[in-house]
């Protein structure tokens, strides 16, 4: 059997750089080397692309707090257009190993928000995960909320602020509309980066300052009291929903450290203790949300389950974490889909979508 060449692109300039390194390590370790020849492309924090060797592409690879990209200094550039020379060496312009499909395991801005997806599309490369539109709207919490509400799904009440109009809404107005406490979140970040919880005016002002360090737009969101449950989605036109997992945070909320660094920062209950009827309800709403945001390939849909039995969507992650303590691969393992098989299915979905798209008639004016 002829091997396919799989490019794993990881790292990036976002604040989730280290998370991406951990995910890439796990994806590389799990991928079936009998079926795929893997090309590792690491993006450093300055945005430079490095062609890496499997033996040393990470430094401190088993230490989440100090994990780092090994800068190979073998610079890589991507060539737009349907070409056999998609990747070239920056040093001499010579063609490098060409790819059949890409797994962009990049979390956050410039990786999960449609920018990387657009570039890969210009290069004519199939890629894992949602297309440009689904990636962009899912990343922006403000836009995602509007689309989910339009689809009849419930989201937490919120106020959107942009940096240029941040003084038009007072703390007193926020408290009156949303109550206390509130969560303050950068609109285009993930993994709880830049997120604060505010119980008073001082914490609110500090949270606003923190969130604007990471984005020019933020949302102030009412705190929802409910169980934190998650569902993994896999597929293109006919997506499948996994069983349901539950997050049991051991701290104030499910922070960045709890998700990716501290294995004791939260407990994952898989499967969640839910009735069969509630499991079906969560799965149906997760698929509805996935389709409302034009997602394909994969996503993880996060909910709050209220005592009343009502579901409130917290967010959708289009490139969910793939670390050893991440919910997405664990939920599919619950369904009998092993980590290597999950990667294989995602690659197949990427190629199927690419073939479907290139079969369309293109007209240039």
Strand intervals (E) in the chain: 4-11, 36-43, 49-52, 58-59, 68-69, 76-78, 87-89, 101-105, 158-162, 182-186, 196-198, 217-222, 227-235, 240-249, 266-269, 297-305, 311-317
The encoded tokens of residue 246 equal: 């539950």
Among the listed residues 245, 321, 326, 353, the single catalytic one is: 321
- Residue 42 is a catalytic residue: no
Q: Who's near 7: CB < 8 A, 6+ residues apart?
A: 38, 39, 41, 87, 99, 101, 102, 103, 125
Residue in this structure with the two tokens 């008073």, named with its chain if needed: 200
Could you confirm whether 36 is annotated as catalytic? no
The catalytic position among 315, 326, 345, 353 is 315
> What is the per-residue DSSP string for 77-137?
EEPPSS-S--EEETTT--B----SEEEEE--STTTSSSHHHHHHHHTT--BSS--HHHHHH
Catalytic site includes residue 188? no
- Indicate which residue of 158, 191, 192, 222 is catalytic: 191
């289009």: which residue's tokens? 318
Q: Is 317 a catalytic residue?
A: yes
Please give the Cα distance from 70 to 56 (Å, whole number): 7
Closest by CA to 210, choosing from 11, 15, 12, is 15
The pair of three-digit structure tokens given for residue 215, joined into one six-digit string: 């984005």
228 and 304 Cβ atoms separated by less than 8 Å: yes
Question: Does the active-site annotation cover 46?
Answer: yes
CB distance 71 to 40 below 8 Å = no
Catalytic residue among 158, 242, 317, 326: 317
Q: Is 53 a catalytic residue?
A: no
- Tokens 């934190």 sit on residue: 228
d(CA 312, CA 101): 35
Q: Which of 28, 254, 256, 260 is catalytic?
A: 260
Q: Mark whether 277 is an active-site residue.
A: no
Given the residues 131, 142, 285, 302, the one annotated as active site? 302
Annotated catalytic residue, options 12, 300, 339, 345 = 300
Active site residue 203: no
For 211, the enclosing helix (H) or strand (E) is helix 201-212
- Write out the catalytic residue numbers: 46, 191, 260, 300, 302, 315, 317, 321
């Amino acid at each position: 059997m002829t091997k396919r060449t799989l490019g794993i692109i990881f790292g990036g300039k976002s604040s989730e750089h280290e998370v991406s390194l951990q995910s890439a390590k796990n994806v590389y370790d799990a991928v079936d080397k009998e079926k795929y020849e893997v090309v590792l492309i690491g993006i450093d924090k300055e945005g430079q692309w490095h062609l890496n060797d499997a033996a040393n592409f990470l430094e401190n690879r088993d230490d989440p707090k100090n994990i780092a990209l090994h800068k190979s200094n073998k610079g890589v550039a991507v060539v737009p257009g349907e070409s056999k020379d998609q990747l070239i060496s920056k040093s001499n312009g010579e063609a490098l190993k060409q790819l059949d499909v890409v797994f962009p395991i990049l979390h956050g801005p410039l990786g999960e928000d449609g920018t990387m997806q657009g570039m890969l599309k210009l290069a004519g490369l199939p890629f894992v995960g949602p297309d440009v539109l689904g990636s962009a709207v899912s990343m922006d919490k403000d836009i995602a909320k509007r689309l989910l509400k339009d689809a009849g799904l419930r989201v937490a009440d919120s106020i959107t602020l942009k940096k240029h109009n941040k003084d038009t809404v007072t703390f007193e107005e926020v408290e009156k509309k949303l109550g206390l406490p509130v969560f303050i979140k950068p609109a285009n970040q993930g993994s709880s980066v830049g997120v604060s919880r505010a119980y008073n005016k001082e914490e609110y002002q500090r949270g606003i300052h923190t969130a604007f360090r990471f984005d020019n737009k933020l949302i102030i969101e009412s705190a929802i009291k409910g169980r934190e449950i998650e569902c993994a989605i896999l597929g293109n036109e006919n997506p499948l929903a996994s069983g349901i997992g539950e997050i049991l945070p051991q701290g104030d909320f499910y922070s960045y450290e709890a998700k990716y660094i501290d294995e004791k920062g939260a407990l994952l209950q898989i499967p969640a203790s839910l009735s069969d009827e509630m499991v079906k309800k969560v799965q149906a709403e997760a698929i509805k949300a996935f389709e409302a945001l034009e997602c394909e390939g994969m996503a993880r849909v996060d909910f709050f389950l209220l005592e009343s039995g009502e579901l409130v969507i917290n967010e959708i992650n289009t490139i969910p974490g793939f670390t050893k303590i991440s919910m997405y691969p664990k939920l599919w393992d619950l369904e009998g889909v092993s980590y290597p098989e999950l990667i294989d299915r995602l690659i197949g979905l990427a190629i199927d979508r690419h073939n479907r798209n290139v079969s369309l008639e293109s007209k240039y004016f």
